[in-house]
Amino acid sequence: MQNAWADYGKMQDKKGERIIGSMFAMNTPTLKGFEICLELPNESMKIDLQSAQSGLLQFLYKKLDNYSITLHITVNEEASKKYAFTPQDKYNKLREKNPLIDKLRSSFDLDI
């Protein structure tokens, strides 16, 4: 199911639907029975995915040879904290993983 999910995202990206394509690349769903569960960081992503839902489900029905699957989308605002958008966000995320990055940045007098 996850391979089919990634394939659909790549297909959307190639068609020029970059927002939808990136959403599929950065969010990995889980499967509970016949329900595909996905947690998104904000309501606008949920709306975008819901607008693409019929094409997605048709693709998955055929790819997985399963016409019983459904899609369950939840929004978790806390999940948005795990995505780094600005250079400062990216730096802070790296610093959380490895505090020695501050030493590296100061040693080479690097900007963020």
**Domains of the chain listed by start with CATH number:** 2-75 (3.30.70), 80-112 (no CATH)
Rounded CA separation 60/67 (Å): 8
- Output the pTM of the full model: 0.66
Mean pLDDT over 12-16 rounds to 91
Instruction: Give me 81's structure tokens.
Output: 């904290």
pLDDT score at 15:
92
Which stretches of 15-111 are DSSP H helices? 18-26, 43-64, 87-97, 101-107
Lowest mean pLDDT among 10-14, 30-34, 101-105: 101-105
pLDDT score at 3:
93
Mean pLDDT over 61-88 rounds to 81
Mean pLDDT over 14-24 rounds to 88
- Residue 80, pLDDT above cutoff 60: no
Instruction: Give me 10's structure tokens.
Output: 């790549």
- Residue 75, pLDDT above cutoff 60: yes
CB 36 within 8 A of CB 48: no
Mean pLDDT over 32-53 rounds to 90
